[in-house]
Structure 1
C-alpha cells in the first residue's frame, strides 16, 4: 500500500482583517492545491486564529478551507499556546486519514532557553532566548500496525529579532550593530528549535534505530544551513559511521535540481520546506513532488492570495 505525506505553509492563513484579502478568494486558490496533493497525512504551518469566538481562538479559516474536501473528515491535531488554546497566529496542524495513536508538542521541555547578554541595547542585560513556537509530534499507525512518527515544524525565519531601542520602524534599524545582534538572536532561536527537535528524534531512535521518522515543515533554511544540518546529522558532519542509522535524508534531493525549490525570491529558487526521513522510511520512497509550477515570487508579492510556499509531497510504499 502507498501512503502520501505532504507539508504546506498556508502563509498567514486566517479570517481577513481590515482590508485584507477575502477568505473566499484565498480558499479558491488554496483548496485546489490541497486536493492535488491527495495526502493521507497533511502537515500545515501558519494556520492562524486571530478572530476569537466567545473569547476563545478557533481555527475558523481552516474549517472553511477544508469544507467539501476529504481532509474535513481526517483526524486533526494542533499546537497550543501558553493559554491552552490555539495561538492567534502560526499554529501547526496535522491532518491524518490514518489513525493517530499519540501526540504531543515540545516547547523547551527538551532544551532550556539559553541566556545571552544583549550588548547593543541602552543598558546591556541578560535575556532568556525563547523559541517563537513549539513543534508538533504525532504518532500514526501505518497499515500493518507499524508506527510512523511525524514531526511538524516551523523554524524561526532569518529575520532579525527586535532589540530594545534599535528599531526605527517595523522594518528599519537604527544601527548595523543592532541589526546584527537581532539577526544573531534569530539564528539562536532557529538553531535551538532544531536542536530540541533533534533531541526528540534521537529519543525515538534510542528505543528503535529502525523507527519510521519524518520531519515535515517550513524550516526557513536550505540544506547547507546549520538548522537543517543539526536535524539531518549526516555522517559527514558527525564523523562517526556508527551514527548513520540516526541520520535523516532530505527527500527533496530525489527531485531534479531545476525543480528543487519551494520559495521564489527575486527570481531565485530556495528550498525552505522539507521532508526529512529516517533511513528505514527513505528506503520505502516511491516519489517526491514539489508543486511549484505556479509559485509567486515573494519579492514582488507582498499580499499573496494563495501561499508563497510550494507544497511538498512524498509517496511511500508501506
Structure 2
C-alpha cells in the first residue's frame, strides 16, 4: 500500500482582513493546485487561522474553503483547540488530515516539559528595577494523532516551533521594526531560541514516552521547525547516537527524510536569497524499511524577504510542501 505523508505551512490561511491583503479566493486559486499535487494520504498543516461567525464557536472556515472540491474535503480531520477546548485558536492552528482512520488525538503544552523560569536582564522598565523571573512558555501546543494504517497504529506528531523573530523585551523597542539596543535584540533572540528548543525537548520527551509504551512504534514528526536539520531543535528531536553516545538508543533515533533529497534542491523557504530547509518530516528507524523517497515542491517558491515581495504579488505560502512516500505492508 502506497502511503504519502506531507507537511505544509499555509502561512496564515485566513479571510481577507485588509484591503492590502489578497483575498482568500486569490490564495485558493494558487494554493489548491499545490495541495492536489501533494496528493497526500496524511497531511500535516501549520498556520491555519480560525474564523468567527455569530452564534458559532471559532472554526476553520478558510481551510474548509481551500479544501472544497479536493480529495482532502472528505478526510478525517483533527486540529488544535484553545484552552477551553470549545473552539480553535484565532491564529496558527495545527491540523492533521488523514485518509486513514484517526483513532484518537491529543495536544500537549508543558505536559512533558515544564515552562522554564527566566529573569529578563535588559528590560528598561520600572525605573530600572530588577525584574522577577517569569515562566517562558511555548506559543503553540504539539498536536498528536494515532492513525490506523493497515493493521498498525502510526503516531503522527505535528509541530510548529517558535520562529527566530526576537521575543518582545519591555522598553527595548522604538517601534515594531526597530530595537533600541543591540543587547535588547540579543536577549529577545535568546528567549525565542529558548522557546524553540524547549518545545523541541517536549516533542522528544513525547517520542520517548511513545517508545516506552509501545513495542516497535511507527512514529512520524512533521512540521515547521524554524530550524535547519543540523540546528539544535532538530538535533534534539533526532536523538542521534553521535550526540547521546549511547548505542542502546539507536532504535529510537528519528531520521529526517529530506536527507535523501539532493542538497541543491533541499530547501522549503527562501530568505534573503538563500534556501533554507525549515520544514521537516522525521520518521523512526523501523519505518525506513518502507521508505521510498521524498519530495519538496519548491519550483515556484518566492523570496518574501526581498523588496516588493508583498502577499498581493505572492498570495501563495512562503513555504513549500514536503512529502515522504512509503510502500507499507498490506
Instruction: Give TM-score scaled by structure 1 length.
Output: 0.97
* Mapped partners of 1:176, 1:127: distance in 2: 22
> Is the 1:15–1:51 contact (alpha carbons within 8 Å) kept by the matching residues of 2?
no
2:178 is equivalent to residue 172 of structure 1: yes
Q: CA shift at 1:224, angstroms? A: 1.6
Other-structure match for 1:155:
161
2:134 is equivalent to residue 127 of structure 1: yes
Paired residue for 2:323, among 301, 313, 317?
Answer: 313
Tell me, which stretches of 5 or more residues in structure 2 are unaligned?
Answer: none
Q: CA shift at 1:52, angstroms? A: 4.3
* Mapped partners of 1:29, 1:53: distance in 2: 30
Structure 1 vs Structure 2 CA RMSD: 1.1
Tell me, which stretches of 5 or more residues in structure 1 are unaligned?
Answer: none
Other-structure match for 1:265:
271
Other-structure match for 2:209:
203
Q: CA shift at 1:94, angstroms? A: 0.3
* Mapped partners of 2:54, 2:256: distance in 1: 40
Other-structure match for 1:216:
222
* Mapped partners of 2:270, 2:322: distance in 1: 14
Other-structure match for 1:191:
197
Other-structure match for 2:48:
47
> Is the 2:47–2:93 contact (alpha carbons within 8 Å) kept by the matching residues of 1?
yes
Q: CA shift at 1:171, angstroms? A: 1.7
Q: CA shift at 1:208, angstroms? A: 3.1
* Mapped partners of 1:313, 1:30: distance in 2: 16
> Is the 1:246–1:278 contact (alpha carbons within 8 Å) kept by the matching residues of 2?
yes
Q: CA shift at 1:310, angstroms? A: 0.4
Other-structure match for 2:30:
29
* Mapped partners of 1:115, 1:243: distance in 2: 30
Q: CA shift at 1:53, angstroms? A: 4.1
Superimposed CA distance per residue, residues 245-302 of structure 1 (whole angstroms, 9 cap, x where no aligned partner): 1110000001111110000112211000000000011221012000000101121224
Q: How many residues align?
A: 317
Instruction: Give TM-score scaled by structure 2 length.
Output: 0.94
Other-structure match for 1:296:
302
Q: Identify which range, 304-313 or 43-52, moves more after superposition.
A: 43-52
Matched position secondary structure for 1:313: strand
* Mapped partners of 1:265, 1:225: distance in 2: 17
* Mapped partners of 2:212, 2:166: distance in 1: 36
Other-structure match for 1:108:
110
> Is the 1:263–1:298 contact (alpha carbons within 8 Å) kept by the matching residues of 2?
no
Q: Identify which range, 168-177 or 69-78, moves more after superposition.
A: 168-177
